[in-house]
Amino acid sequence: MTTTTGELLPIATGRVTARAVLRQVLAHPRQWIPALLLSLASSAGTVALPILLGALVDQVPIVARTGDTGPLAALIVALVLVMLAGVVLTAAAGRALQRLAAQVGADLRERVVERALRLDTRVLERAGHGDIASRVTDDVELFMEAIPVLSGVTASLITVVVAAIGFVSLDWRLALAFAAVLPVHVIGLRWYLPKAGPRYAAERRLAAERSRVLLSSLRGRPTVQAYQMAELQSGRLRSASASALEATVGLVRLVARFGLCLNGAEAVGLSAVLATGFLLVNADLVSVGAVTAAALLFHRLFGPLGWLLMSVDDVQRAGAALSRMVGVAGIPDPEPAPLPAPRGPVTVRAEGVDHAYVEGRLVLDRVDLELPAAGSVALVGASGAGKTTLAGIIGGAITPTQGRVVLSDGERELILSADTVVDEDELRDWVGIVAQETYVFTGTLREELTLARPGITDDEIWMILERVVADGWVRALPDGLDTPVGPNTAVLSAAHVQQLALARLLARNPPLVVLDEATAEAGSAGARQLEAAGRALIKDRTALVVAHRLTQARECDKIVVLDDGKIVEAGSHEELVAAGGRYAALWASWSAH
């Protein structure tokens, strides 16, 4: 759910924002699992140290009584080891958390920018460019800047939770005494937060004003001198500086007072722990060591607790920026307008297909494959496995050395084999291929598509461009559909050329499509746009997709794994992942990226 406020672009609710962040975090198991384990281990070290010191305290009278120093020595060794491990683990956990946070931030930024670029121009017009611009610049920047703070907050939270468990393990009454600190924190925060936000904002505003006055005086020096305004400008600068300074000092004072409040809370908490400890020891309910451990543990928590409280403001601001970012990323894609359906669905049967480019060197070996009507099949396999060759044969671009491919629409059949000759125009009615090597003709963008379907209207062209997610950049071209494209015009990137190839195919509307495009980097915005365009193309058609990125394969009804010219596995994504074979291994290493 997203809510629409005074602005027209939506802002995600807290829950949606949290879910979006969690999804991004969980998408990187290689980063979040070590980050969590290292943070837990480092927090355990933080908690173990005071507990060991407490045990040491309890051990001293025993040594005095028995003279056996063995356990004492063991405790000291354990203490040193925990201390050393703590240093290493804390550094490693900090780094792992920072890396995770930076990754999640980068992913979110990419999603927001990508979605913003694809936003319907009408939505943009209504919302105003200022709103979207501030979301993809200021909000993204604010959030990225807050990343070190956010990873520190996460580490502190984990430490506080582990420490609370440590407290309970010492004695529940000591844990209750520790909790005495919380009401003081709550009061302090309720006093500080409403003041801090506006003060920070005022300080930034006044500092910006000071820079503006200074820069305008410097830039307009000749005018200032000509009109003998130096005195006046100096006065303005002095007053702007004084206001900025006053705001900064006020802010520092406020933070210092809040710091004092935190110290007061710590004093209250520590006194409560010590007083409760005194009573418990007196009543022989806990040992002196346990109380010592509790007091030291509390002391160790000063840092993380203080960090948490001082960062509430930053977290709030980062959270606000984040919900504005997630709000944009979550804008649903508009339902594409309907295009005429392709001619009746086509089934494909490849029977005993062999192929050799060089005599005696088979690159496809007795391949049998069926493509159901309006179903999609992905070809997956290592480089050189024969995917492009098989796709070319099914698309009619390569004649198989042996065997045949039968295309059937229920009434007629088209047979592709070494013994049959197929009319090019008839083949184009049945099947369209987007190959790895794509091209644009020399002419305008409009001509690109009228060549594919003579008589196509501009409305239909825009509809097709929207389907292949190319409408945004085409609208941005100075001459729109009249922009000349072609080998020598260099206005199009490789991904744009691919989109146009997909658009041409949509315009031709063949019932069978073969996609073998490999331009886009996996995970890039370009890849996602091309995948969306590919999805639009294979919808309601029989499709063979050479999956250069496994995300393409996952979306197909069936996946066929080729190895050295032979089909070695076939099934749906879920079936093949569950089978734990070749595809499952490919998928595991792909999703670990």
Q: Which is nearer to ligand ATP, 359 or 424 (CB)?
A: 359
Q: Give least dist CB 417 to ligand ATP, A.
A: 18
Strand runs labelled E in 396-552 = 402-408, 413-417, 431-434, 443-444, 484-485, 512-515, 542-546
Please identify which residue in 10, 50, 94, 386 interacts with ligand ATP, judged by CB under 6 A.
386
Q: Give least dist CB 309 to ligand ATP, A.
A: 55
- The candidate with the shortest Cα–Cα distance to 447, out of 476, 484, 499, is 484
Q: Tell whether residue 395 is a contact of ligand ATP (CB under 6 A).
A: no
Q: Which is nearer to ligand ATP, 282 or 383 (CB)?
A: 383
Q: Which is nearer to ligand ATP, 289 or 381 (CB)?
A: 381
In Å, how far are 174, 253, 289, 390, 425 from 198, measured between CA atoms? Answer: 39, 14, 47, 65, 70
Q: Give least dist CB 511 to ligand ATP, A.
A: 24
Q: Give least dist CB 351 to ligand ATP, A.
A: 19
Q: How far is Cα 298 from Cα 438, in angstroms, rounded to an integer?
A: 66
Q: Give least dist CB 560 to ligand ATP, A.
A: 12
Q: Give least dist CB 371 to ligand ATP, A.
A: 17
- Mark residue 375 as left, alpha or beta (left: phi above 0; alpha: psi -120 to 50; beta: remaining): beta
Q: Give least dist CB 551 to ligand ATP, A.
A: 16
Q: Tell whether residue 24 is a contact of ligand ATP (CB under 6 A).
A: no
Token digits of residue 593: 């990226």
Q: Tell whether residue 217 is a contact of ligand ATP (CB under 6 A).
A: no
- Do the beta carbons of residue 458 and residue 481 sit within 8 Å? yes
- Do the beta carbons of residue 473 and residue 114 sit within 8 Å? no
Q: Which is nearer to ligand ATP, 166 or 386 (CB)?
A: 386
Q: Which is nearer to ligand ATP, 278 or 439 (CB)?
A: 439
Q: Tell whether residue 387 is a contact of ligand ATP (CB under 6 A).
A: yes
Q: Which is nearer to ligand ATP, 306 or 386 (CB)?
A: 386
With contacts defined by CB under 6 A, how many residues of the chain interact with ligand ATP?
A: 11
- Do the beta carbons of residue 500 and residue 440 sit within 8 Å? yes
Q: Give least dist CB 421 to ligand ATP, A.
A: 21
Q: How far is Cα 465 from Cα 458, in angstroms, rounded to an integer?
A: 10
Q: Tell whether residue 388 is a contact of ligand ATP (CB under 6 A).
A: yes
Q: What is the dihedral of CA 176, 181, 187, 189, to 10 degrees?
A: -120
Q: Give least dist CB 527 to ligand ATP, A.
A: 16
Query: What is 112-159 written as a DSSP string?
Result: HHHHHHTS-HHHHHHH-HHHHHHIIIIIHHHHHHTHHHHHHHHHHHHH
Q: Which is nearer to ligand ATP, 383 or 589 (CB)?
A: 383
In Å, how far are 266, 271, 295, 411 from 261, measured between CA atoms? Answer: 9, 15, 20, 84
Q: Is 516 exposed, middle or buried (0-12, 13-18, 19+ CB in 10 A)?
A: buried
Q: Would you give the binding string for ligand ATP spanning residues 346-385, x where CB under 6 A is met?
A: -----------xx----x-----------------x-xxx
Residues 265-304 touching ligand ATP, rule: CB under 6 A, are: none
Please report how many Cα atoms fall inside a 13 Å half-sphere around the Cα of residue 209, on the Cβ side.
17
Instruction: Classify 369 as helix, strand or coil.
Output: strand
Please identify which residue in 389, 417, 509, 529 interacts with ligand ATP, judged by CB under 6 A.
389
Q: How far is Cα 193 from Cα 190, in angstroms, rounded to an integer?
A: 6
Q: Which is nearer to ligand ATP, 226 or 358 (CB)?
A: 358
Contacts to ligand ATP by CB under 6 A: 357-358, 363, 381, 383-389
